């Protein structure tokens, strides 16, 4: 069976996993300065689920990128379990992502030359896990793909590819899972099944889930909804 991370102390359980403080992002082009994010401020607790919603161009994907440390703010701070991620250099941020974050994308982002099993093994191998094959196999069975271990992505349906992506994200038991439109390229029924599976895994493994979505019905399944309008949290 998939091993569950040890019980967290009361102190860790009560402290925010993510703290965003007065986050600003401004870019400059030939037309002048453009504010993408303006004074974003919130925190999320362990095991909490939150949806970031807003119109196209509102800044929600930029915010998600900053939570991951993939984009840097003009001003402000993001803390992950108390660590200011922008006090770290790029290599240290990458190491932190590998240890504490999982990612799910609309376009799946599977490596086409690796099988489903190998795709899920990859983050474990990068982390130096000794039982990567066994853990990856168990997680693929958990998402209903125990019979697809040797299949390459091109031989899997969209829903199956996203389940492989979920398995890859959750297999390292991250503190935080960041999902960008995880059902955006799937039909309604498949998307609903993938969303239900993601929430189930989130509850089982105690992850803090943050997802970007344009779908209010999906957002309503999360405990919190963070609405971005013109770069501001409303």
- HEC profile of 20-88: EEEEEEEEEECCEEEEEEEEEEEEECCCCEEEEECCCCCCHHHHHHHHCCCCCCCEEEEEECCEEHHHC
pLDDT at site 12: 52
pLDDT at site 6: 46
The average pLDDT across 129-144 equals 94
Q: Above 80 in pLDDT, residue 114?
A: yes
3 domain residue, yes or no: no
Q: Using CA atoms in the order 93, 124, 154, 191, what is the torsion angle rounded to 10 degrees?
A: -70
Q: Over the stretch 149-171, which tens digit does the pLDDT of each residue have?
A: 999 999 999 999 999 999 999 99
Could you tell me what percent of the chain has a pLDDT over 70? Answer: 94
Number of structural domains in the chain? 1
pLDDT at site 93: 94
2 domain residue, yes or no: no
Contact 67, 20 (CB under 8 A): yes
Could you tell me what percent of the chain has a pLDDT over 90? Answer: 79
pLDDT at site 1: 46
201 domain residue, yes or no: yes
Domain that includes residue 86, residue range:
10-225
Contact 173, 205 (CB under 8 A): yes
How many residues in the chain? 234
Q: Over the stretch 8-51, which tens digit does the pLDDT of each residue have?
A: 555 555 689 999 999 999 998 888 888 999 999 999 999 999 99
Q: Whole-prediction pTM value? A: 0.88
pLDDT at site 13: 58
208 three-class SS: strand
230 domain residue, yes or no: no
Distance CA(133)–CA(61), nearest Å, equals 33
150 domain residue, yes or no: yes
Question: What does the block give as tokens for 78?
Answer: 């993001």
Q: Residue 119 is part of a domain; what is its CATH number?
A: 3.40.50.300
Distance CA(174)–CA(79), nearest Å, equals 15
């Amino acid at each position: 069976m998939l091993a569950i991370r040890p019980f967290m102390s009361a102190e860790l359980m009560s402290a925010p996993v993510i703290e965003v403080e007065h986050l600003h992002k401004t870019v400059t082009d030939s037309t002048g300065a453009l504010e993408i994010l303006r004074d974003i401020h919130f925190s999320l607790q362990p095991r909490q689920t939150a949806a970031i919603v807003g119109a196209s161009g509102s800044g929600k994907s930029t915010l998600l990128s900053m939570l991951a440390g993939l984009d840097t703010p003009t001003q402000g701070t993001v803390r992950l379990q108390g660590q200011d991620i922008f006090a770290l250099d790029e290599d240290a941020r990458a190491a932190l992502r590998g240890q504490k974050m999982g990612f799910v994308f609309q376009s799946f982002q599977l490596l086409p030359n690796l099988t489903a099993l190998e795709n899920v093994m990859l983050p474990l191998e990068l982390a130096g896990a000794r039982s990567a094959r066994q853990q990856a196999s168990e997680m693929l069975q958990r998402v209903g793909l125990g019979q697809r271990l040797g299949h390459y992505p091109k031989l899997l349906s969209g829903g199956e590819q996203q389940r492989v992506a979920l398995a890859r994200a959750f297999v390292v038991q991250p503190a935080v899972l960041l999902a960008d439109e995880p059902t955006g390229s799937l039909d309604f029924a498949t998307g609903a099944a993938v969303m239900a599976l993601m929430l189930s895994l989130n509850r089982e493994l105690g992850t803090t889930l943050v997802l970007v979505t344009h779908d209010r019905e999906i957002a309503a399944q999360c405990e919190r909804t963070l609405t971005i309008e013109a770069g501001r949290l409303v």
